[in-house]
Amino acid sequence: MSHTPDEPPPGPDPHRTAVLRSHVREAARELREAGLEIDRDPTAIDRHLHLAAVDIMRRCTVPVEYLAEPVRAGGHTFDMSSCLEHTITIEELSYGDAGFMLACPGPLMSGVAVSALGDDKQRHAYYQRLAGPDPVWTFFGLTEPEKGSAATELETALTPDGDGFRLDGAKAYVGNAAYAQLGVVFCRRAPGPLGIEAVLVDTSSPGFHAEPIPTVGMRGARISAITLRDVRVEREQILGYDTLKPTRRGLVGAIRTLQRFRPVLAGTAVGLARAVLDHVREQRPAPTGTARLRYEEVRDRLAAVRRRNYEVAAAIDAGSVRADRIAAVKTRAAELAEEATVVAAELLGPGALAADPYLNKLHRDARAFEFMEGTGHIQRLAVFQGVVKRTFLA
């Protein structure tokens, strides 16, 4: 299916990751047509819940002890708690269709937050629900209408109310929130960075309201706006409240979640860019001259970004979290996905975006990566800080 050569990714067991990639790639084969359908009608995911790719997304990052049938392939069992294996999984599913992947039920970013911050009881309740027989969609509520994803400037308030709290505020540009049953909301309990908390919210709670925001691309993500008015929050819904110091939860959790997830998001962009280049090769198998050089330049840069992303994800698994390098690879992957669609439109000729529905969709979808999990400006600031500290190129 893919014309992109595969190098063994770094990590302790290249054979294991190769088995995982092959297994997920097979499941992703049936996503192209379904992805076009979801682009026309995002609720169409309900008609595709039987697909193997949906099963993978439902189980992705859920510990195997909660699953009756975890993901197994080639004699290995996978829960994708490894950042590298999570990244490879999402890249392959995004090669099938990124919009379809994001429309699926499953933990996605909320699972990373619960894993990083939740106590044993909170993780148990969360994973039990995700592993149940019914599909559960989740959301990750950090971004706000006036403050964007600047975690230190959050305005959503968690106010003491009797023996619990109430939650008031608004979130914007949150994937799947209007369709989710469960999610994590970042909010402010007190002034300053130590006053930030992450709370688990059931979307059936009185005062919770979410509605879809119309978008041009990545419609499968079902981007939503959330309004919170006097939503009751019990103390046990605050992630890590009884087990972590304020310095280890809230803001730290938001940053850790974003850093852990950015290589995964970069994998989404890499998967889409691979799909674009392979589509060009299928439509124009033998370009010559400048066209061939243009194609090969983007292909070679994509291979370099893909390799770098694997290295960053493997470093996270090894306990080395370098914010500047994580930011750099996320930014580069997002830029390259956009550029690949521009080059594709050039190589396939005038009118290609209007005449080719699949290319048109990829062209629109690729624009979303600039804003997902931190804008390009935020990422470039992290890279700049690394350059100033002389750590970025060390």
CA 182 to chain centre: 17
pLDDT band at 126 (very low <50, low <70, confident <90, very high): very high
Angle of helix 31-40 relative to helix 357-365, nearest 10 degrees, comes to 70
- 234-240-241 Cα angle (round to 5): 50
Contacts of 240 (CB under 8 A, 6+ apart): 117, 118, 119, 122, 198, 248, 249, 253
Task: Give, in order, the Cα–Cα distances in Å from 298 to each of 270, 275, 305, 306.
Answer: 12, 13, 10, 12
Task: List, for residues 132-144, the tens digit of each pLDDT value.
Answer: 999 999 999 999 9
CA 171 to chain centre: 17
Among residues 302, 361, 308, 313, the alpha carbon closest in space to that of 335 is found at 302
Amino acid sitting at position 240:
G
Task: List, for residues 291-307, the tens digit of each pLDDT value.
Answer: 999 999 999 999 999 99
Average pLDDT for 329-355: 94
Distance CA 178, CA 223 (A): 8
Distance CA 286, CA 340 (A): 18
Task: List, for residues 219-265, the tens digit of each pLDDT value.
Answer: 999 999 999 999 999 999 999 998 988 877 877 777 878 888 899 99
Burial 184-205 (b: 16+ CB within 10 A, else e): bbbbbbeeeeeebbbbbbebee
pLDDT > 90 fraction of the chain, expressed in percent and rounded? 75
Average pLDDT for 92-105: 97
Question: What pLDDT is attached to residue 2?
Answer: 59
This prediction has a pTM of 0.92
